[in-house]
Each structure stands twice: as C-alpha cells, then as structure tokens.
Copies of this chain bind each other. A is one copy, B any other.
Amino acid sequence: MNKIISISREFGSGGRELGKRLADNLGFAYYDKEIVQEIANRSELSLHYVNDIIEHRPSFSFPIHTGASFVMTDSIWNPTQTIYSAQCEILREMAAKSDCVVVGRCSDYILRDFKPLKIFVYAEMEHKIARCREKKPEETRTDRQMARMIKNIDKHRAKYYEFFTAHRWGNKRLYDICINTSHISVKDAAAVLAEYVHLWDPSSE
C-alpha cells in the first residue's frame, strides 16, 4: 500500500513548504499546484479560474450570500462541481501511482480509502503575518489588513472543505497530528513528521 500524506494548512503557517520538505526528506512525490494545472487541462477551464474557484471564490456560496433562495441551477453548480470531480479523479490517480505528499484540496477526505496520514499545520497570527512578510518583503499592508486577508483565505478554505466533506476544517479529530509552526522551524517540523512516517505502517490499520 502506498504511503499517502495529506497536509491541510492555515495560510501563512508554512504548510506548503513543510509538505515539500517532507516529500524531499522521504523521497516521495509532491503534489500541490500540479493538481490545479491538471484540473485546468482536463476540464478545459483556465488555470486562473480553477484556482479562483478552489481558493478564493467557491461559487456555491454565491446564492447564499445574496440572500436569494438557493436554486441549484446548472450555471451555479457546474463549475465548482466539475472542478471537484476532476480533483477527485486526479488525486486518486496520483495516490494509486506512488507514495506521495498532497497539500490541501480536501485530499484527506477524497483519499480516505487510501488511509492517508492526515496532518494539520497551523500557527499563531503574528507568526503567520511574519512568514508572509518574509516571503513578500514588498508587502505594504498593515498587520491588521494582513490578519484580515489571512482569516479570509482560511474562511474560504473552510467553506470549500465543509461544502464537500460536511466536516469542520481544522477540527483536530480529523487529523493524526496537528503541528503548530509558531515555535519550531518548518525544517524541524518536517523532520518530526518524517519520524512519524518512518514508524507508520498504513497497511496495519
């Protein structure tokens, strides 16, 4: 049985870097933006549009927010549903192919039959802001504006996740291990998680 590692992460927590380091450390395949690219290829939607639907503006929220009665018309439903279906197909193909690390994309839920190791990465707001500034030194927003932006992105992630899984994103009970990157470097966090993976036998469960 392949070892599948699913990483869910708060924006700014370093979860993406952690996933990449963990994959490198273990010699596993690493999938993140590759998934969005592949969804775009298969669905014939633009890369930008797919990314927008997944991360920032899942279209199922539109009728709820406007207060209009919710009618599941094709035009509202299809883009999000098409993208999700493609995502399921691609993730399952990837998981069947080899050991891998997948970041985000509801992968903990979609790949549940592959018994993935489920990791949640989080951090305190001040550390998330500092990490964002480090990655983008030209950032001009204030800390307050940054905090609002970070919360918004995570709100959308949570909404997308909850729509398709009916579970509460970030609830520790959904994960095997939750790691706070406020007081540990991402490099060290990856080493701790690699130790978990070395000891772990998914076929024994």
Contact = CB atoms under 8 A, between A and B. Distances in A.
Interface of A: 120, 122, 124, 170, 172-173, 175-180, 182-184, 188, 191-192, 195-196, 199-200, 205
A192 B192 CA distance: 6
A77 B109 CA distance: 48
A183 B205 contact: yes
A180 B176 contact: yes
A195 B195 CA distance: 7
Contacts of A124: 173
25 contacts: A120-B172, A122-B172, A124-B173, A172-B172, A172-B180, A175-B180, A176-B179, A176-B180, A176-B182, A176-B183, A177-B177, A177-B178, A177-B180, A177-B192, A178-B178, A183-B200, A184-B196, A188-B196, A188-B199, A188-B200, A191-B195, A191-B199, A192-B192, A192-B195, A192-B196
Given A192-B192, A195-B195, A179 B180 contact: no
Given A173-B122, A177-B177, A192 B184 contact: no
For the residues of A in contact with B, the DSSP-based class is mixed
Contacts of A173: 122, 124, 180
A128 to B, nearest CB: 12
A188 to B, nearest CB: 4
A184 B199 contact: yes
Contacts of A183: 176, 200, 205
Given A191-B195, A192-B195, A199-B192, A184 B180 contact: no
